[in-house]
Amino acid sequence: MKIAVIGSGGREHALAKRLLQDNGVNHIDIIPGNAGMELDSNLRTHDCNIKNQDALLSLCSKLSPDLIIFGPEQPLVDGTGEFLDKNGFNVLGASKDAAQLEGSKIFSKKFMFRNDIPTAEFEVYESYDEALAGLNKWKITEEGIVIKADELAAGKGVVVTWNEDEARKTLSDFFLNPDCPVNTKKVLFEKVLKGKELSAFALMDGETFITLGYACDYKRLLDGDKGPNTGGMGCFSPKLWPDKETRKCIDERVFRPIVEGMKKEGTPFKGILFAGLMLDEAVNVIEFNIRFGDPEAQTLLPLIEGNLSRVFDHAAKGSLLNLNETLTLSEKCSVHVVVASGGYPAMDGSPMNLENEIKIEESSSGTIYYAGVKQKDQKLVNTGGRVLGITCLGDSIETARDSAYKKLQSVHFEGMTYRNDIASGSDGR
């Protein structure tokens, strides 16, 4: 099977490496990919601006893949997956309308309420004045408030606060401040949910779903969950949590109503569904994403056993029900540690420490997935925030974690930044 993966980060590297393990897959084309991926002889990267639909179509026509898998959400929200689908390609990824589950937080919340999917109560405001007046209805200092911009904002469009001044400042930034990276015409306010966060993943073909697994990521930059929010500094896949009963509840109260509700409403969902959940005694949905998480993919994919490419192919064709094989989740635990550039996440636009040579010594087992790298003067150098990540498996979280941090000792570049407490339990997870 000829497979093309769209995207350029660690998530796409993990997808490609995992699919290469399947019988019948000899190489993977990654569009555009990155220079670190080229270290794998069976991965071929192709320079292409994926925002240019015609350029992408022309490249895909040349490569003629049997299956195209989208890594990131933006091209799906832009309708690029649907465009390739309409041009005769077999695409695993949401249609433009179905992509609204991630692309519009208001669409997503309203969908959840219509389909009885558990989530926090919310209100929508369509102007700054309305929203400012709306704050008076919320007991911010006692119960807190979550303010969300109704748009894709790479994690910057959500503020959770118990401070009334911060709530007002957030609104003026989101609606009125041209220098704020988030500019929105609508916001929603939500009740603060309490509990532990979990990312849960399912593969959907428009009719039915297969649960893929679970992971916990670390969004803050610094040890002890301190510092600014990032794209994710590490992750682990727990073995015993959530328990069987909770897993069943996630299937029945979240994944099933999604696949059935989206079909009923005329926007069947095909692709990877990522449910961001808050678990206490109850399961509540924080948000949906229409893709694998990054770095959740790097953590979870190495644990998935079975012919994943064949299963993805069936999902893309809408024929999971005809599939006579299944996927299983390994008994092992998985830990992933991200290594970022010095200065990441540079929220205020300050420069990061870039273009340093990355040296990797021969070392113990484990897998390196590349993200923000390029080739310069025959050397691999860092070009962006998250540079690479290391995944190790083990019989326990402790052994997987020890292996990942041991392997990390073999990675060297100036300014490299990482957390020391991924999967350590010291943060109460």
Q: Measured at CB, which residue is nearest to ligand GLY? A: 293
Binding at 293: pick from ligand GLY, ligand AMP, none (beta carbon under 5-8 Å per type):
ligand GLY
Minimum CB separation of residue 218 from ligand GLY in Å reads 9
Closer CB to ligand GLY, 33 or 234, in the complex: 234
- Residue 97 carries which side chain, given as an amino acid letter? D
Do the Cβ atoms of 188 and 124 come closer than 8 Å? yes
Closer CB to ligand GLY, 99 or 323, in the complex: 99
Which residues have CB under 8 Å from 248's CB, separation 6+?
A: none
Cα(287)–Cα(425) distance, rounded to whole angstroms? Answer: 25
Which residues have CB under 8 Å from 54's CB, separation 6+?
A: none
The span of 249-257, 290-298, 320-328, 349-357 binding ligand GLY (CB under 6 A) equals 290-298
Binding at 158: pick from ligand AMP, ligand GLY, none (beta carbon under 5-8 Å per type):
ligand AMP
Minimum CB separation of residue 356 from ligand GLY in Å reads 25
Q: Name the residue among 102, 187, 203, 189 with its Cα closest to residue 139.
A: 189
Q: Is residue 296 within the footprint of ligand GLY (CB under 6 A)?
A: yes
The span of 18-26, 64-72, 293-301, 344-352 binding ligand GLY (CB under 6 A) equals 293-301
Considering only the C-alpha atoms of the chain, give the largest distance between any 2 of them, rounded to a whole number of Å. 60
Interface residue list for ligand AMP (CB under 6 A): 120, 146, 148, 155, 158, 160, 190, 192-193, 197, 276, 286-287
Cα(374)–Cα(204) distance, rounded to whole angstroms? Answer: 34
Closer CB to ligand GLY, 150 or 313, in the complex: 150
Cα(296)–Cα(131) distance, rounded to whole angstroms? Answer: 34
Closer CB to ligand AMP, 156 or 168, in the complex: 156
Q: What count of residues does the chain have?
A: 429
Minimum CB separation of residue 190 from ligand AMP in Å reads 4
Cα(235)–Cα(199) distance, rounded to whole angstroms? Answer: 10
Closer CB to ligand AMP, 280 or 357, in the complex: 280
The H or E element that residue 21 is part of is: none
Minimum CB separation of residue 307 from ligand GLY in Å reads 25
Binding at 160: pick from ligand AMP, ligand GLY, none (beta carbon under 5-8 Å per type):
ligand AMP
Of 181-220, binders to ligand GLY (CB under 6 A) are 217
Cα(261)–Cα(253) distance, rounded to whole angstroms? Answer: 12
Minimum CB separation of residue 278 from ligand AMP in Å reads 6
Closer CB to ligand GLY, 71 or 144, in the complex: 71
Tokens of 303: 């644990």
Q: Is residue 289 within the footprint of ligand GLY (CB under 6 A)?
A: yes
> Within a 13 Å sphere around the CA of 221, how many CA atoms are in the beta-carbon half?
16
**How many residues touch ligand GLY (CB under 6 A)?**
6
Burial of 101 (0-12, 13-18, 19+ CB in 10 A): buried
Do the Cβ atoms of 93 and 70 come closer than 8 Å? yes
Binding at 296: pick from ligand GLY, ligand AMP, none (beta carbon under 5-8 Å per type):
ligand GLY
Look at strands 209-217 and 411-412 and give their pairing: unpaired
Binding at 217: pick from ligand GLY, ligand AMP, none (beta carbon under 5-8 Å per type):
ligand GLY
Omega of the bond leading into 268 within 30 degrees of 0 (cis): no
* Distances, alpha carbon 334 to alpha carbons 51, 276, 340, in Å: 33, 19, 20
Binding at 120: pick from ligand GLY, ligand AMP, none (beta carbon under 5-8 Å per type):
ligand AMP
Closer CB to ligand GLY, 80 or 289, in the complex: 289
Of 224-263, binders to ligand GLY (CB under 6 A) are 232
Q: Is residue 293 within the footprint of ligand GLY (CB under 6 A)?
A: yes
Minimum CB separation of residue 284 from ligand AMP in Å reads 8
Binding at 152: pick from ligand GLY, ligand AMP, none (beta carbon under 5-8 Å per type):
none
The span of 57-65, 132-140, 247-255, 287-295 binding ligand GLY (CB under 6 A) equals 287-295
- The SS3 assignment for 388 reads strand
Do the Cβ atoms of 359 and 414 come closer than 8 Å? no
Cα(271)–Cα(80) distance, rounded to whole angstroms? Answer: 14
- The residues binding ligand GLY (CB under 6 A) are 217, 232, 289, 293-294, 296
